Amino acid sequence: MHEQYQPLEVEAQAQKYWNEHHSFRVDEADGKEKFYCLSMFPYPSGKLHMGHVRNYTIGDVISRYHRMQGKNVLQPMGWDAFGMPAENAAMKNNVAPAAWTYDNIAYMKSQLNSLGLAIDWSREVTTCKPDYYRWEQWLFTRLFEKGVIYRKNGTVNWDPVDQTVLANEQVIDGRGWRSGALIEKREIPMYYFKITAYAEELLSSLDDLPGWPEQVKTMQRNWIGKSRGMEIAFPYDQASIGEAGQMKVFTTRPDTLMGATYVAVAAEHHLATLAAQRDPSLQAFIDECKRGGVAEADLATQEKKGVATSLFVEHPLTGAKLPVWIANYVLMTYGEGAVMAVPGHDERDFEFANKYQLPIRQVIAKVEGDNDFEPTAWKEWYGVKDESVRTVNSGKYDGLGYQAAFDAIGADLAAKGLGQARTQFRLRDWGISRQRYWGCPIPIIHCASCGDVPVPAEQLPVVLPENVVPDGAGSPLAKMPEFYECSCPKCGQPAKRETDTMDTFVESSWYFARYACPQFEDGMLDKKAANYWLPVDQYIGGIEHAILHLLYARFFHKLMRDEGLIDSDEPFKNLLTQGMVVAETYYRTLPNGSKDWFNPADVEVERDAKAKVIGARLKTDGLPVEIGGTEKMSKSKNNGVDPQAMIDAYGADTCRLFMMFASPPDMSLEWSDSGVEGASRFLRRVWRLAQAHVSAGFAAAVAQDTLTDAQKEIRRAIHLAIKQASQDVGQNHKFNTAIAAVMTLMNVLEKVAQDDAGNRALLQEGLETVTLLLAPITPHICHVLWHELGKEGAVIDASWPQVDEAALVQDTLQLVVQVNGKLRGHIEVPAEASREDVEACARANENVLRFTDGLTIRKVIVVPGKLVNIVAN
Ligand code: ANZ
Ligand code: ZN
């Protein structure tokens, strides 16, 4: 054993052992309990960033811990390999996206290996490879035949100069990112997954996921957005509209119907079109709304604007004529694209009515006691719909609570055929067509006589040609007759292959299942293997995937279930969303007012005695820089730290220990050089103690009943550490406090003299314990230490240590003694001493006698195991 800890050598040795022994390869072995631990797979962007390292270390620690619990642990890894960055890089460097992607994968795989992750690489999945996407295409054709996938027109961003469709992120301030041209909206045919058909189940089965963070479930619930309400029809006013018909609205507040003073429609609504035919001056506003193409979130906050039309509709209960407005806050894609405006009780309508001088009518009031309305405070009752409010100014409906008003108004509307209860979801069907090259081809053939024909299973996969360099002007596939020319599978006539590819969220929606059987060639999933491994026991990834990825993956799991491929209902039993990795930012303000950001690695910080940062200077010129506060590591603030530099300088174990010690996994982690150095120092201490112990020769096993009192204390520290770490890691994923427990133990062990057999036995037990407790976190050094401590087999095959309850028993306890709440001394009592004995011992303490001299003892408070407080005056 080297005297010094040499991480590079230690890590190479451990990794060599794992490789040679295929240590992490698993199969569906009977008998053992399975544990499937999954970290979200990376996009192969080029190199790992700190967020990846954190994510994969957390997953690895959990995996290794469960392996030590005797479970059959699967930890797979793969590549989310399709996507736009590859196309952009391809254009920049004139290499094919495939070559760029495969190079990145090779490099990042070597990085993952250098971290020492316990991955079963025999299950590697790469989504851009035909053996993977073939099954995605197969499922697509099945779902298309079932009607779960369908084709309809969708709106895209069209760049008229580049003649190409742009993704949302390629549109910057309304212009194309390359051409700078003003972007137009275009309707083109696209394929949609009917996720709305699963809305109810996706919502209700969130209740079956107690292992998910509440916050994520709430985000999903809001995204699915179930609203119970009513569909209400407003008959056209024949005189102004000139045709018969009804304008429908969806409302969650039919109880406010008597307060509707106008109606508003979206710019794309039929009535808007009709109004503009009558009055062309309206067209400008309609065009402005359509051009906006604003995200839904912005719609809620943007300034409300509208124009009046000369059209009217009739109130369904009173027949009163309500003016029709065109308003920018009404979405064409929600409900019916029209609203009944109740400015008295809806904030958006209120803002609009105030601006355009439209009447506002109060029809809801707060009720205090039985019937004590408070008409002045009504604006506070926006959104309130329960029994704390009553209808007012509503004629025959006056005095009703929310539900009673809903029912009474609903019944009258139903009798007239003008209303019915309805549930509305915010969730939309998922449009997956992308006019991009580097994605999974959509397996459809367009035939002039047969229409859209799915590619037959035996002709799959539709292989994406890999040697293509896109030029940024439209999809390359659409310019490759050798790709799109084909014959119709039904009639044999010449036909055209679809050239759109799928949204890359499709690949990441089922990779977790393919890991169960990555080489299976007879179907998408090998049912036996998939049912064995799934659901994933622990899924780990960033909170940024809380909505889309996790919702799509849940959806796909249900699609695969309904296809008979798998039996479970949900893919991820437990979810851990890791916090961000943040770092200090440094900058100087340039003469033009913009900021020049400096990387933390290039900055020297000054600290005061309490280690608080008081100043910072650039290393190159020694001049001060401003401190911009801690922020998520990002390119824009230049505060990213390259994990590779840290691994190269300190080794993977130090890096892993720092990451796990700096904060619990769900909190943000602040980068700190001194933290890394601290981690490195700690590992060197462990090594040094082990080295000293091992070089002193043989150590016998501990015999609890021969230990002296002092030795019992040492052994107690060992087992307290086991107890603490087991709780922290096993139950709460609090690796930081588990590490702290090991550090406390190290402080004890370092003080043990290597002088007699009893001490040496304790040191042996202590060092074995340190090694086992750290094994999931710093696996390389523990692999070597285990061997050096003379243990048979590898530490990865060892069991997590067990607490010896006998070692925790304390023969004597030290209690604090207080007089009137002030510390006056300590007493030593037998652990099993009675309350009376403890009290008597405290009263006899000489300090207590001194401080109670001349006083009367009024009360003695005993907190067992802790303290005695004597109240005297
Ligand atoms: C009258 C009313 C009175 C409304 C009131 C609210 C409060 P959620 O809960 O999100 O489903 N709405 C309906 N369709 C719309 C559209 N296409 N664009 C914009 N807003 C629309 O929201 C339902 C409410 O959103 C509906 O209930 C409707 O306004 C509005 F005191 O109708 B309400
Ligand atoms: Zn045909």
For residue 690, the domain's CATH number is 1.10.730.10
- Give 501 Cα–ligand 2 centroid separation in angstroms: 22
- Give 496 Cα–ligand 2 centroid separation in angstroms: 10
Is it the case that residue 370 has pLDDT exceeding 50? Answer: no
Q: Quick one: 727 and 803 in the same domain?
A: yes
Q: How far apart are CA 647 and CA 655, in angstroms?
A: 6
Nearest to 113 by CA among 202, 203, 48: 48
What are 561-581's pLDDT values in tens digits? 999 999 999 999 999 999 999
**Structural domain contains residue 6:** no
What are 521-530's pLDDT values in tens digits? 999 999 999 9
C-alpha separations of 346 from 298, 317, 353, 378 in Å: 18, 20, 10, 11
Q: Quick check: helix, strand or coil at residue 820?
A: coil
Q: Quick one: 702 and 608 in the same domain?
A: no
Is it the case that residue 297 has pLDDT exceeding 80? Answer: no
Q: Which residues contact 226 (CB under 8 A, 6 or more apart)?
A: 199, 200, 203, 423, 424, 425, 426
Lowest mean pLDDT across 108-122, 132-146, 493-507, 701-715:
701-715
**Structural domain contains residue 648:** no
Owner of token pair 């790709």: 483
Contact 744, 712 (CB under 8 A): no
Is it the case that residue 3 has pLDDT exceeding 80? Answer: yes
Q: How far apart are CA 659 and CA 679, in angstroms?
A: 9
Residues 462-481: what's their mean pLDDT? 91
Which of the listed residues 471, 502, 533 is the one where a domain comes to its end? 502
Supply 680's token pair: 């490195």
Q: Quick check: helix, strand or coil at residue 473?
A: coil
The DSSP code for 729 is: I
What are 488-500's pLDDT values in tens digits? 999 999 999 999 9
C-alpha separations of 461 from 79, 301, 485, 557, 696 in Å: 19, 46, 16, 21, 65
**Structural domain contains residue 5:** no
Pocket test residue of 339, 345, 384, 391 for ligand 1, highest count of atoms within 8 A of CB = 339
Q: How far apart are CA 447 and CA 465, in angstroms?
A: 22
Per-residue confidence band for 376, with pLDDT thresholds at 50, 70 and 90: very low
Residues 109-133: what's their mean pLDDT? 97
Alpha helices in 663-756 (DSSP H): 673-695, 709-726, 732, 735-749
Alpha helices in 565-699 (DSSP H): 643-650, 652-662, 673-695
Which residue's CA is minimally distant from atom 33 of ligand 1? 251
Q: Quick one: 482 and 569 in the same domain?
A: no
Q: What are phi and psi of 749, to 5 degrees?
A: -65, -35
Task: Report CA torsion sign: 106, 109, 115, 118.
Answer: negative
Nearest to 524 by CA among 537, 506, 546, 548: 506
- Give 455 Cα–ligand 2 centroid separation in angstroms: 12
Supply 682's token pair: 């700690």
**Structural domain contains residue 201:** no
Nearest to 166 by CA among 174, 154, 158: 158
- To the nearest whole number, what is the mean pLDDT of the chain? 93
Owner of token pair 């079963």: 120
pLDDT of residue 375: 45
What are 318-356's pLDDT values in tens digits? 999 999 999 999 999 899 999 999 998 888 999 999 999
Per-residue confidence band for 378, with pLDDT thresholds at 50, 70 and 90: low
Contact 389, 401 (CB under 8 A): yes
Q: How far apart are CA 77 and CA 79, in angstroms?
A: 7
Q: What are phi and psi of 565, to 5 degrees?
A: -90, -20
Q: Quick one: 294 and 368 in the same domain?
A: yes
pLDDT of residue 713: 92
226 labeled part of a ligand binding site = no
C-alpha separations of 172 from 175, 177, 181, 300, 472 in Å: 5, 6, 10, 21, 16
Q: Which H or E element spans position 488?
A: none
Supply 597's token pair: 């950001």
Which residue's CA is minimally distant from atom 2 of ligand 1? 253
CATH of the domain at 609: 2.20.28.290
CATH of the domain at 97: 3.40.50.620
Q: Quick check: helix, strand or coil at residue 410?
A: helix
- Give 155 Cα–ligand 2 centroid separation in angstroms: 28
Per-residue confidence band for 300, with pLDDT thresholds at 50, 70 and 90: low
- Give 339 Cα–ligand 1 centroid separation in angstroms: 6
Q: How far apart are CA 248 and CA 254, in angstroms?
A: 13
Q: Which of 69-78, 383-392, 704-713 has the highest mean pLDDT?
A: 69-78
CATH of the domain at 378: 3.90.740.10
Contact 868, 816 (CB under 8 A): yes
Is it the case that residue 110 has pLDDT exceeding 50? Answer: yes
Owner of token pair 């550490």: 721
pLDDT of residue 296: 59
- Ligand 1: list residues with CB < 6 Å: 227, 250-253, 256, 329-331, 334-335, 337, 339-340, 342, 345-346, 424
pLDDT of residue 612: 80
Q: How far apart are CA 373 and CA 375, in angstroms?
A: 6
Residues 812-833: what's their mean pLDDT? 90
Atom of ligand 1 lying closest to residue 332 CA = 17
Q: Which ligand is nearest to the CA of 226?
A: 1
Q: How far apart are CA 99 and CA 486, in angstroms?
A: 27
Is it the case that residue 446 has pLDDT exceeding 80? Answer: yes
Per-residue confidence band for 785, with pLDDT thresholds at 50, 70 and 90: very high
pLDDT of residue 292: 62
Residues 265-278: what's their mean pLDDT? 95
Is it the case that residue 294 has pLDDT exceeding 90? Answer: no
Q: How far apart are CA 549 and CA 506, in angstroms?
A: 9
Which of the listed residues 758, 773, 808 is the one where a domain comes to its end? 808
Q: Quick one: 412 and 452 in the same domain?
A: no
Alpha helices in 37-129 (DSSP H): 50-68, 84-93, 97-114
What are 43-82's pLDDT values in tens digits? 999 999 999 999 999 999 999 999 999 999 999 999 999 9
Q: Quick one: 82 and 182 in the same domain?
A: no
For ligand 2, a single-atom ion, which residues have Cβ within 5 Å? 447, 449-450, 488, 490-491
Owner of token pair 């002193």: 696
Residues 702-719: what's their mean pLDDT? 92
Length of the chain, please? 873
What are 189-238's pLDDT values in tens digits? 999 999 999 999 999 999 999 999 999 999 999 999 999 999 999 999 99
pLDDT above 90 covers a percentage of the chain that reads: 77
- Give 435 Cα–ligand 2 centroid separation in angstroms: 24
Is it the case that residue 293 has pLDDT exceeding 60? Answer: no
Torsion of CA 38, 42, 47, 49, to 10 degrees: -70
Q: Which ligand is nearest to the CA of 448?
A: 2
Is it the case that residue 507 has pLDDT exceeding 90? Answer: yes
Q: Quick one: 404 and 480 in the same domain?
A: no
CATH of the domain at 481: 2.170.220
Which residue's CA is minimally distant from atom 8 of ligand 1? 227
Number of domains composing the chain? 6
Which residue's CA is minimally distant from atom 9 of ligand 1? 227
Lowest mean pLDDT across 40-44, 524-528, 854-858:
854-858
Phi-psi category of residue 236: left, alpha or beta, with phi > 0 → left and psi -120 to 50 → alpha: beta
Contact 141, 120 (CB under 8 A): no
Q: How far apart are CA 393 and CA 643, in angstroms?
A: 67
- Give 237 Cα–ligand 1 centroid separation in angstroms: 23
Global pTM value: 0.88
Q: Which ligand is nearest to the CA of 231?
A: 1
Pocket test residue of 270, 294, 346, 425 for ligand 1, highest count of atoms within 8 A of CB = 346
Q: Quick one: 804 and 816 in the same domain?
A: no
- Give 492 Cα–ligand 2 centroid separation in angstroms: 6
- Give 445 Cα–ligand 2 centroid separation in angstroms: 9
Atom of ligand 1 lying closest to residue 227 CA = 11
Q: How far apart are CA 359 and CA 352, in angstroms?
A: 11
* CB atoms inside a 10 Å sphere around CB 615: 12
Which residue's CA is minimally distant from atom 27 of ligand 1? 251
Which residue's CA is minimally distant from atom 20 of ligand 1? 330
Pocket test residue of 247, 251, 299 for ligand 1, highest count of atoms within 8 A of CB = 251
Q: Quick one: 354 and 233 in the same domain?
A: yes
Which domain, by its residues, includes 82? 24-127+505-578
**Structural domain contains residue 597:** yes
Supply 137's token pair: 């295409």
pLDDT above 70 covers a percentage of the chain that reads: 97
Q: Quick one: 394 and 352 in the same domain?
A: yes
Q: Quick one: 341 and 284 in the same domain?
A: yes
Q: Which ligand is nearest to the CA of 363?
A: 1
Q: State how far Cα 720 lies from the chain centre.
A: 34
Which of the listed residues 484, 502, 520 is the one where a domain comes to its end? 502
Q: Quick check: helix, strand or coil at residue 756?
A: coil
What are 119-128's pLDDT values in tens digits? 999 999 999 9
Q: How far apart are CA 121 and CA 110, in angstroms?
A: 12
550 vs 377 pLDDT, higher one = 550
Q: Which ligand is nearest to the CA of 259?
A: 1
Q: Quick check: helix, strand or coil at residue 441?
A: strand
Owner of token pair 């089965």: 205
pLDDT of residue 372: 47
Q: Which H or E element spans position 182?
A: none
Q: State how far Cα 733 lies from the chain centre.
A: 16
Is it the case that residue 812 has pLDDT exceeding 90? Answer: no
- Give 232 Cα–ligand 1 centroid separation in angstroms: 12
CATH of the domain at 865: 3.10.20.590
Supply 752's token pair: 């043990």
Q: Which H or E element spans position 550?
A: helix 548-562
Q: What are phi and psi of 765, to 5 degrees?
A: -65, -40
pLDDT of residue 453: 98
673 vs 723 pLDDT, higher one = 723
**Structural domain contains residue 497:** yes
Nearest to 679 by CA among 639, 726, 736: 736
At residue 863, what is the residue type?
A: V
**Structural domain contains residue 641:** no
Pairing of strands 372-373, 364-368: antiparallel
**Structural domain contains residue 362:** yes
Q: Which residues contact 736 (CB under 8 A, 6 or more apart)?
A: 660, 661, 662, 663, 664
Atom of ligand 1 lying closest to residue 382 CA = 31
Q: Quick one: 789 and 868 in the same domain?
A: no
Which residue's CA is minimally distant from atom 26 of ligand 1? 251
